[in-house]
Structures are given as C-alpha cells and as structure tokens.
Structure 1
Amino acid sequence: MDQSSLLYGALTLVILALSSLYVALVIWSPPPIVTRDSETKYLSNAYPKKPRPLAKLADPSTVDLTIVVPAYNETERLPIMLASTIAHLTSPALKNKRTFEIIIVDDGSSDNTSAAALKLTAKYPKCDVRVVTLEKNLGKGGAVRHGMLFGGGERLLMVDADDASRFTDLELLWEAMDKIAPGHGAGVVVGSRAHLVKTEAVVKRSLLRNILMYGLHTILRIVGVGHIRDTQCGFKLFSRAAAQQIFPAQHLPTWIFDVELLLLAKQLRIPVAEVPIQWHEVPGSKLNVVSASLQMLRDLLIVRANHLLGRWKATPSKAKSD
C-alpha cells in the first residue's frame, strides 16, 4: 500500500470518528424544553381554582423582585423556607419598599407539593405567592428556567426550597447588583459558600459529597468558569436584562444547569459578582452523588461542545442600561 493510500485511509478514519462524535453529541444533547399551556398559568390564595396567566420575561417588569423556588416533593421543607422568606420581605426594614412575587414551581412532584403550596398561600393572604405545576418532571434546571421565563421582577432570585441559605443575605446580593448593574443594566450575583470550605458546615458533609465538590471545581476550571469559586449554590440574583438574555438560551434541565448559566453570562459579557453568604446542610437532599457525578461530567462536556461548535448560543440584548 503506497503512502497516499495510507494518508487517505487515515483521513477517512478521522472524518468517521469526528462524524461519530458529532452524532453522539446531537443524540446526547437534551431536546428543547417544551412549555405546555397549563404551565403558563398559576394558582394562588386569591385564585385557588381559576388559573391566571403568568407574566412573561420578555415584557417590562411588574414588580421589583421575583423569587423563583423550584420544588420537587417538598411538602415538608417548603413551609419553613416560605416562612423565613416572607418574614424578611415583610420586615419593618423592607415593608412597602420593595414589591415582590414568589413563584413556586412544582417540578412534577408525586407528593402533592402543589396542593400543599397552595394551602400555604392562605397563611400569607397579603403576599403574592403563585403556584405553578409542571406536567412532567424536568429537573431543577428546568424548573428554575420556567419560573424565570414567567417572572415579572426587575430582579429575579432563584432560591432552593430547603431553606439552606440564609434569606436575609439577599440584601448582600442586592447591594452587589447595585454596583455591577446600576439602573436597568445586565448583571448576575452569585451567593457563594466558598468561604465555608474549611468550616464544619462543609467538613461534616459526607466524604462522597466533598470528593464531588473538589472534582467539580477541577472540571469547572477546564470548561471555563473556574473564576467562580461556587457555581452550585442555589441562591443567585439576576437583573431582568440579564435574565432576558440568559434563560431563553438555557438548554440543561439537570442540576448542573448553574454552570451553563454562568457560561452564558461569560459568553454574553454580562458582569458576574460572587458574594459570601451563610449556608447550612439540610437533611432530605434528593441528589444521588454517584449518578449525579456521572451526569455532571456528561452534561458539562455536552454544554462545552455545543458552545464551541456554535450549536448553542445566546443573543446579546440590544437594550442599553440606564
């Protein structure tokens, strides 16, 4: 066999290998997230039986703050979280100074989370607490995305239903947002637990969880968000201008979606600030560390490959900050 034949054969193998990898990427990439008509409406204490239409992220804001709470089988932990959230938002220091809405997104729960959440709204008749039920379980990322796409806030906060983060630390995020995105500018502020790494809050976590944490940090540096010390804290604040660019471009519905949000912010040149917050471990996590680790690695590779190849991209907003 002459040299040209060998070169041709090698080139053919390379093309076949690259084609196979591209096909695998297309197959493994999550399909577009479909929003059903029932999911564009909410129930509340004021409207317990007649669904009302949600706001749309593309429209102008209607309140100062939207709090998005993804909830999957959270009948036990949700009451505590909601109580601490509303206690802060209605405290004398903030009362009548900041309008807000709370959107609880039931991610296809099997424990009647929606019914329990709707019952809870009766405890807070003067607060705008909305319950949205997804017809099928999407994953935490899908639930957060849905709440954001239908939030009316000038700023939008994602917060976990387990009350692990101290809600009063919202004010720290708010101050940071004022600095990086004054007026109606685009900005993201990330609540961070990085300062707690050597404290009991993290040391007492299981060995597997800590291994996962350090492994994740290594991979994040490789994929391009190593500048953020804690990507996974479920306490993040977005300006409306940032949310309008980021969330329509989000593809991952799984728990590693936070990394995709930060990659999109970096791609869009949206400023991101990281603020230390208080946090504590709460029993009842539904995360399986072994399967989550494998899924994490796969999803990070999928995100990075799709962005590098241009299959997934975000469109910068033409709106200018004030």
Structure 2
Amino acid sequence: MQTSGHPSGPSVEIVVPALNEENDLGPNIRRLREFLDTAFPFPAEVCIADSGSTDATYEIGALLAAELPGVRIVRLEQSGRGRALKQVWSESTADVLAYMDVDLSTNLNALLPLVAPLFAGHSDIAIGTRLSNGSRVVRRPNREFISRSYNLLLRATLSVHFSDAQCGFKAIRTDVARELLPLIQDTNWFFDTELLVLAEKAGLRIHEVPVDWIDDPDSRVAIAKTVGEDLRGIARLTRDLGRGRIALDPVRWAYGRPRILDPRTALAARVLRFCAIGVLSTAAYALLYLVLRQGMPAQVANLLALLITAVGNTALNRRITFGVTGAENRWRHQLRGLVTFGIGWSLTASSLWLLHTAVASPHQAVEVTVLTIANLAATVVRFSLFQAWVFNDEAPTLPTFEPPAVLDQTRSN
C-alpha cells in the first residue's frame, strides 16, 4: 500500500473509494473539498482510496493530494469497496469516519445532518436513506425496484429495521468502527449491509438521514454480479448469526450507552424482555398441556409440557434477555435451566395435586387456570435464578462510561 498527501488529525475523515474513475475523480474531489472548506463547520480530511485501478485514477489522485490541502490518497493493490473502507477506517485517527461515492450522487448538504448525531453522542452510526418519505430521488425504475426489493429481503431474512443498506453515504464513530470492523468478512459491496446488521444486532443506534440523490448514469456497478454477492452474503450472515459464530454482545453494548447507564433502567429492560418471553412460554405451555392431556394423565401432561417449553425458554432468555451468544457454556446453561424447571414443576405439580385433592374431577379449564397461575408465580423465582446463577458466568460488568474525546472537542468549539 502506498500513501501520499498531508497527514493530519481531523475531526472527520471522508473516504472516497475509487476504481477506474479517472474522468470523475478530479472535478468531484475539488467540489467536495470546496464544500468542506466553505460550508462544513468541522475540520475534515478527504482520503481517496484507490482500490486496484488500472487507469490513471491513482496518478490523478496523487496530483490532487499535492494540490489540495486536506486531501490524501491511499493505494490498495486489490479491488473492493469494503476492503478500501476497512483499511482506511482501521488506520484513521479521526473522531468520526465517513464515506461517499465518488460520483457525489448524494447532495452534500446532507453531510452535516449525517455526522452531527455522532458528534453529539446521540448515535453510533449514521446512514443516508433514499427510501424515506423525506428523500428526493431521481433514478432508473429498475434500480429503484432492486433497491427496495433488497431492503425488503433484509427485513424478512435478518429482521433488521434500517431502511437503506446500500446508499453510498454513511458515517460511524471511530470507537465503534474499531469494535465492528474486525467482525466484518465481506470486502466488496455487501460490506455496508454487514456493518449495519452487526451494529443493529449489537444494540447500537443507527441514525437515518433522508437525502436528495440523483442516479449516476455512468455507474460502474455490475448489477447482476452485485445481486449474487449480496444474496450469498445474506445467506452467510444468517447462518453465522444463527449458529453464534459472530461474537456480538448486545448487553455489553447496551450497558455502554449513556442512555441506559443507570443499572435500574437496564434491569427494567431486562425484566421486560424476560416477561415477554415468559408470556410466550406460558401460552405455549398451556397449548401443549391441552394437546397432551387428551391422551395422558394430568401430571404426565404437565411434566412434558413444562419440559419442552423450559428448553425453549432458557434458549430465548440466554440470547435475548441476557445477551449470551455462541456455543460456549450452552449446555451448562441448559442444565441449570432444567434445575429452574424442576422448581417450576414442583410448584405446578403441587398446585395440581391440591386441586385434585379439593375437587374430584375438575374441568380442564380450571386445571389450566390453576396451572397458569402457578407457572406465573414460578416465573419470579426463575428470573432470580437466571440473573444470579444460570447465566452468571457470562454476565458482563457495567463499564464506566467515558464520553468520547469528540464530545469534549465539540463543546470546546
């Protein structure tokens, strides 16, 4: 890798990936630099990331770096937008990192709204979106259809909530980037999607900015090839997340955010998640009991229904309530969960025995009501055991939140 330009310590570093862009690079970098110098309130540096160009892109970029203060160029021998961003972002000393497409399809007036929430500490990542009601977009119908279909597919397969994964206009706090970049495998167009999916699964805040965007008729994106890569990326990411191969820790990230730094608030959020899972488990238990009761005695049906729902309950609470991912200690957690199941079973079995002692042949609706009440009572005990024992070997400690240096700098400005 070769670099040239004027190294500095800007507040924002804007990376412009470039591959064989000898025609557009010069005028667009000058336009971007002029905007930053006249209409952007934060110190900013532009980094041209030439990823394996075979035309005069690097030579033109080197001339721009020598001519324009605040512009530098990095040369990578291999192509790939994700590879270029990962390389430059990993080495940057800026407080906020951004990137935009070399064609400047996105109106530059959206840059300040993009980075401002990151400087304020409100958000961790910011993205431009072309699919918001407030966006103004001019592009070909086929690309509009592909974009909307792709983002709908992401929602259906990965249950994400951001609206536009691939708009070439994004920013991220540097401390967040250092946590996420080592987890990202893709080095090309799927890089953006993988970054956002991992960020959302880790509980980070993603801020969306509606943008004005005009399609570049000379776009170099190979649509068919990109679609194929994206579909393979979705399949890989779905598989890796499902099998716990990616070491995300949503609880640690959530506790590190100032908005829920208060332990009481964090505990309330955990209780709400536990209760939601408990409601689902109770409903599943009641349904299973009614089905099993048709062909077996009440106590046996109760035991089997509790056992089946206990395994699912422990797995869901492990992942969702307590943020434990991966295969490590999974079976230990399930065995400990079975102990809490035993306590719940003893409470419901005792309630069932007392009911049949008091009433010779109670109606099944009465049985279900008594067992449901007993099961809900056991929930309190189960949560206490989950919190203090079942998942205790994985429970994170609350870190002390230190505002990033960028916040102090913003205040001093």
* TM-score interval for Structure 1 and Structure 2 normalised by the shorter chain: 0.7 to 0.9
Candidates 19, 37, 42, aligned match of 2:3: 42
1:121 corresponds to which residue?
Answer: 65
Instruction: Report the secondary structure of 1:282's partner residue.
Output: coil
The answer as to whether partners of 1:77 and 1:163 remain within 8 angstroms in 2 is no
Name the larger-Rg structure: 2
The answer as to whether partners of 2:160 and 2:197 remain within 8 angstroms in 1 is no
1:172 partnered with 2:120: no
Structure 1 unmatched ranges of 5 or more: 1-38, 47-53, 56-61
Comparing both structures, which one devotes a greater share of its residues to helix? 2
Instruction: Report the secondary structure of 1:279's partner residue.
Output: strand
- TM-score normalised by the chain length of structure 2: 0.57
Deviations 1:74-125, CA, capped at 9 Å, x for gaps: 111112321221112111x54xx5322221111111113111111122331x
1:105 partnered with 2:49: yes
1:155 corresponds to which residue?
Answer: 96
Instruction: Report the secondary structure of 2:245's partner residue.
Output: coil
Q: How many residues align?
A: 256
**Distance change >3 Å, CA 99–CA 178, structure 1 → 2:** closer
Q: For 2:14 and 2:119, how far apart are their aligned partners in 1? A: 18
Structure 2 unmatched ranges of 5 or more: 254-398, 404-413
Deviations 1:248-272, CA, capped at 9 Å, x for gaps: 2211112122110011111222111
1:18 corresponds to which residue?
Answer: none
The alignment-based identity, stated in percent, is 25
1:136 partnered with 2:84: no
Q: For 2:159 and 2:19, how far apart are their aligned partners in 1? A: 28
1:289 partnered with 2:223: yes
Instruction: Report the secondary structure of 1:284's partner residue.
Output: coil
1:252 corresponds to which residue?
Answer: 186
The answer as to whether partners of 1:246 and 1:265 remain within 8 angstroms in 2 is yes
Q: Which has the higher contact order (CA 8 A, sep 6+)?
A: 1
Deviations 1:222-266, CA, capped at 9 Å, x for gaps: 233541111111111111121111122211112122110011111
Candidates 43, 56, 67, aligned match of 2:14: 67
Q: For 1:174 and 1:197, how far apart are their aligned partners in 2? A: 18
Deviations 1:292-313, CA, capped at 9 Å, x for gaps: 2222111111122122223333
1:189 corresponds to which residue?
Answer: 126
The answer as to whether partners of 2:107 and 2:211 remain within 8 angstroms in 1 is yes
**Distance change >3 Å, CA 232–CA 71, structure 1 → 2:** same
Please report how far the alpha carbon of residue 154 of structure 1 lies from its aligned counterpart in structure 2 after TM superposition. Answer: 0.3
Q: For 2:177 and 2:147, how far apart are their aligned partners in 1? A: 27
1:204-283 aligned at under 5 Å gives the runs 205-207=140-142, 209-224=143-158, 226-283=160-217
